Amino acid sequence: MRIAIIYDKPRTATPQRHWLSRSRPDGSSIGERFTDASTFWLPQETGLIEDLLHEGGYETVAYAADDARGLVEFLSRESPDLIFNCCDTFRGRAAFELNVAAVFELFEIPFTGSSALTLGMALDKGVAKSLFAAHGIPTPPWVVLTPDANPREASRLRFPVIMKPIREDASIGIDRHSIVETPEALLERARFVWREFSQPALAEEYIDGRELNVALIGGAAERFVTLPISEVLFDGFPAGAYRLLTYEAKWLAESAEYRSTVSRCPAELAPDVAERVRHLALSAATAVQLRDYGRIDFRIRRSDGAVFVLEANPNPDLMGDSDFASSAAAAGRTHASVVCEIVERALERGRRARTI
């Protein structure tokens, strides 16, 4: 059994060229030693997965996808039995993530994780939230704003509001300036998103409260198993600051946000709340048609305990310090067993496809 581990070749960005340097109203520098870590870790994750697959007895080959022709030539030459899909972007663009999976589908090679269709639906926050709403899944009120839209469309939202690029991943485009408190600031931030990311902006009501996530792994009969719930703690944030999992909090180890944000698993929740969160995680996974593994992000509103689904994440980070890995460990699963479970689900799907 030969498995190809395919990932996007990492891109680098100088401090002057990175969107963070233009997001700060005061024009302060993000530092000359800045590293754009949101893709920088991909070779490390690929190496980890390769080692874990070797433990499981699989033969592997890794490939950094950098252009469409090269990817097609690699697949034609190598003809792997399975692809472990680690492409969250392609040539640095999240919007091309689904296209890579579509190439795998055209070659009819089984691959881990979600389909091209699901990757596209989950990436587009407006589409995903519309699917949540259609399935009766609570999600914070939102509006999609384009440059030709009337900004008054956002008037039905209650401030504060968080502004996000509609088709980015890994908290790209989200920092402490993403939360706005007035219509004027909302329009200014929308213009920032349009200019920096060349895509619509999602305006979403900010939910003040606890942030949770639920890791899911595929089980028998294509049903998901929920792993122990993880909570993101913001205890190190200054009093009065908005609790937000920013780009800095996720990726910039030298930042105050990173040092002030930690995870706890299992989260300390009342049994009925935990059960509702797990139920909504499974519903959200069904709404966007996740496969094999995924992660659902939540907020619990402080004022009344209402639970909201923020996002569904196909093919989440599997690094040892990720929330997914922590949840798996809390469930008694080893890192190697989780990776092999994901592979087995994809292989089963491939076997079923050949019998149809």
* Cα dihedral 46/6/120/293 (nearest 10): -50
Q: Are both 275 and 297 inside the same structural domain? A: yes
Whole-angstrom distance, CA of residue 52 vs CA of residue 58? 9
Task: Give dist(CA 278, CA 208) in Å, integer.
Answer: 20
User: Which residue, of 206, 235, 251, is where some domain finishes?
Assistant: 206
For residues 297 and 325, membership in a common domain is answered with: yes
With CA atoms as reference, report the closest residue to 201 among 186, 184, 182.
Answer: 186
Domain range holding 38?
A: 2-140+207-355
CA distance 193 to 200: 7
Q: 77 and 19, same structural domain? A: yes
Residues 70 and 183 in one domain: no
Q: What is the CATH number of the domain that holds 280?
A: 3.30.470.20
Task: Examine the domain organization and report whether 191 and 229 are in the same domain.
Answer: no
How far apart (Å, rounded) are the C-alpha atoms in residues 123 and 129? Answer: 11
The pLDDT of residue 251: 85
Query: What local confidence, expressed as pLDDT, does residue 10 receive?
Result: 74
Q: Judge contact between 41 and 49, C-beta under 8 A.
A: no
* pLDDT score at 240: 86
Q: Which of 206, 278, 296 is nearest to 244 (CA)?
A: 206
**What pLDDT does residue 312 have?**
98
Question: Which pLDDT tens digits describe the chain residue by residue (356 residues)?
Answer: 899 999 988 766 655 567 887 887 665 556 555 555 556 677 788 889 999 999 989 999 999 998 999 999 999 999 999 999 999 889 888 999 999 999 999 999 999 999 999 999 999 999 999 999 999 999 999 999 999 877 778 889 999 999 999 999 989 999 999 999 999 999 999 999 999 999 999 999 999 999 999 999 998 767 899 999 999 999 888 888 999 999 989 888 888 898 999 999 999 999 999 999 999 999 999 999 999 999 999 999 999 999 999 999 999 999 888 899 999 999 999 999 999 999 999 999 988 877 66
Question: The tokens 């233009």 sit on which residue?
Answer: 22
Is there a single domain that holds both residue 162 and residue 296? no
Residues 122 and 187 in one domain: no
Which residue among 150, 184, 206 closes a domain?
Answer: 206
Asked if residue 160 and residue 283 are part of one domain, the reply reads no
pLDDT of residue 24: 72
Alpha helix (H) ranges present in the chain?
19-23, 37-40, 42-55, 68-78, 97-107, 116-123, 125-134, 183-197, 247-251, 256-259, 271-288, 323-330, 335-355
Q: Which residues pair with 205 in a beta bridge?
A: 161
176 and 316 housed in the same domain: no
Pairwise CA distance, residues 289 & 36, whole Å: 31
User: What's the pLDDT score for residue 314?
Assistant: 97
Q: What CATH number should be reported for the domain holding residue 150?
A: 3.30.1490.20
| Pair of tokens at residue 167 | 């088709």
Q: Which residue, of 206, 223, 255, is where some domain finishes?
A: 206
Q: Do residue 278 and residue 136 come from a single domain?
A: yes
Is the domain of 280 the same as that of 261?
yes
| Residue carrying structure tokens 């039905």 | 156
Residue 132 shares a structural domain with residue 149: no
Our count of domains for the chain comes to: 2
Contact yes or no for 50/78 (Cβ under 8 A): no
What is the pLDDT, as a whole number, of residue 222?
73
